[in-house]
Structure 1
Amino acid sequence: MFNHDKNEQLRHRLDRSLDKSSDGIDMDVPAEVVSSTTVYTGRIFHVDDMTIALTDKKGGKHEISRQVLRHAPCVVMLVHDMSTDRYLVEREYRAGSDMFAYGLPAGLMDEGEDILDAALRELAEETGVVPDRHTMGVDYVGDFYSSEGMTDELAHIMVLHLGPFTREARHFDPDEHVESAWIPWSDLAATRITASNSMIAIQHEALRRLIARNSDKDKPTLFS
């Protein structure tokens, strides 16, 4: 309750400050979808062409046009082997950046799938790593939109601190080609990773390691 009240107070202070630069749009009134037409449908996503009405503080309506890429939610995970203090890194071709990019295990969630179940499924499919769920620690970093101005893709980001794990055969989609390797933290921190969701997980872990080092702790707190 305390944290909720504190967050609400912060939001109200922030909103009052922002209101001073308002051009008249009432941002306490939800946006209204006037029309929405699907203009493209692909295997992974579809695109909606939308007209949206915003309400000003006198009740007037102001229409804006947006195209929104509709995308399934995804999971992104930084995987930490606590026994060796190494991290799992991947490399695969990314069409958006036209690079064979370094990154972290990630993938799309199936409809109705639990977040952690999706993460462990993707981890096994891409890398063959199957953790012992009873000894595994999970730091839920947060839920972040990949690019909220143009897509509704929501990334569920976490750090997995593994105890014992087993290996199984990897299972890729026909057009999926992924390499993976365990590397020390120093190498991961020095690697150029361009995916923002991956960097959120890495920065979260960098902060945890810094706090642990400063408090003379060498292992993360585990949450089963």
Structure 2
Amino acid sequence: MVGDDKQQRLERKLDRRLNASSDGIDMDVPASVVRSETVYTGRVFHVDDMTLALSDKQGGVHEINRQVVRHAPCVVMLVHDMSTDRYLIEREYRVGSDIFAYGLPAGLMDEGEDILDAALRELAEETGVVPDRDAMGVDYIGDFYSSEGMSDELAHIMVLHLGPFRHKERHMDPDEHVESTWIPWSELTATRITASNSMIAIQHEALRRLIAKHSDTDKPTLFA
């Protein structure tokens, strides 16, 4: 676990530097919940209105009020057909931006579902693409909060490098309307994509392609 030890040392060093700008709140003490009330419940998420307590370095307590959107975790995937060097792109209506937005295959995870299983399920449901798992490489990029100041939605982001795959009939929810097509890398990078999680995947792939261009191998890393 050398990587974890290195990360911890870095964070301790960073915390010492940040403490110089402290207004007195002790950020080594976790926040505690004073009150929490669910004020909205919908089909996809619910909203909690919370009062939380932060401790200061003199032992005092400071209450803050926050509202948090409770949301299931999701998967976001950039899908690469290695045989043609093309990528899957989608278009669908997004109410947050109020546009028919370009983006990548993505979707909510079911409770207890494995990350890769969820990604492949969503891929098949939205696009009909079913990869051969034994001939597929996966670059697992990481887990990122979509908007950690107001939501606990955690996005598991990855790049799927497909070998052989087959098509099956798409199976979407009744209120889900998604278009998809394969495009070359040059078109993908020129497309206006507004979702931050999708851009994380695309930028990761841009770095991989740059490194591969100047090395002897183009092998993607495998899912861990």
TM norm structure 2:
0.98
- Deviations along 1:134-170, one digit per CA (max 9) or x if unpaired, are 0100110000000000000000000000000000000
Contact map agreement 1:144 1:154 (CA 8 A) in 2: yes
Question: For 1:33 and 1:146, how far apart are their aligned partners in 2?
Answer: 22
Aligned to 2:89: 89
Superposition pairs of residues 122-133 of structure 1, within 5 angstroms: 122-133=122-133
Superposition pairs of residues 184-199 of structure 1, within 5 angstroms: 184-199=184-199
**Which residue type is aligned with residue 37 of structure 1?**
E
Which ranges of structure 1 fall in alignment gaps of 5 or more residues? Answer: none
1:34 alignment partner, SS class: strand
- Deviations along 1:38-88, one digit per CA (max 9) or x if unpaired, are 000000000000000000001110000000000000000000000000000
RMSD (CA atoms): 1.0
Superposition pairs of residues 36-51 of structure 1, within 5 angstroms: 36-51=36-51
Question: For 2:145 and 2:220, how far apart are their aligned partners in 1?
Answer: 27
Aligned length: 224
Contact map agreement 2:139 2:159 (CA 8 A) in 1: yes
- Check if 1:75 corresponds to 2:37: no
Question: For 1:195 and 1:223, how far apart are their aligned partners in 2?
Answer: 23
**Which residue type is aligned with residue 170 of structure 2?**
R
Identity in percent: 82
Aligned to 1:172: 172
2:134 alignment partner, SS class: coil
**Which residue type is aligned with residue 159 of structure 2?**
V
2:64 alignment partner, SS class: strand
Aligned to 1:157: 157
Contact map agreement 2:80 2:86 (CA 8 A) in 1: yes
Contact map agreement 1:137 1:160 (CA 8 A) in 2: yes
Contact map agreement 2:138 2:220 (CA 8 A) in 1: no
- Deviations along 1:83-127, one digit per CA (max 9) or x if unpaired, are 000000000000000000000000000001000000000000000
- Check if 1:13 corresponds to 2:13: yes
**Which residue type is aligned with residue 121 of structure 1?**
R
Aligned to 1:142: 142
Superposition pairs of residues 102-117 of structure 1, within 5 angstroms: 102-117=102-117
1:215 is displaced (CA, Å) by 1.0
Question: For 1:206 and 1:185, how far apart are their aligned partners in 2?
Answer: 9
1:134 alignment partner, SS class: helix
Aligned to 2:56: 56
Which ranges of structure 2 fall in alignment gaps of 5 or more residues? Answer: none
1:219 is displaced (CA, Å) by 4.2
Question: For 2:218 and 2:188, how far apart are their aligned partners in 1?
Answer: 18
Aligned to 1:4: 4
- Deviations along 1:166-220, one digit per CA (max 9) or x if unpaired, are 0000011111000000000000011110000000000000000000001143443
1:6 is displaced (CA, Å) by 1.4
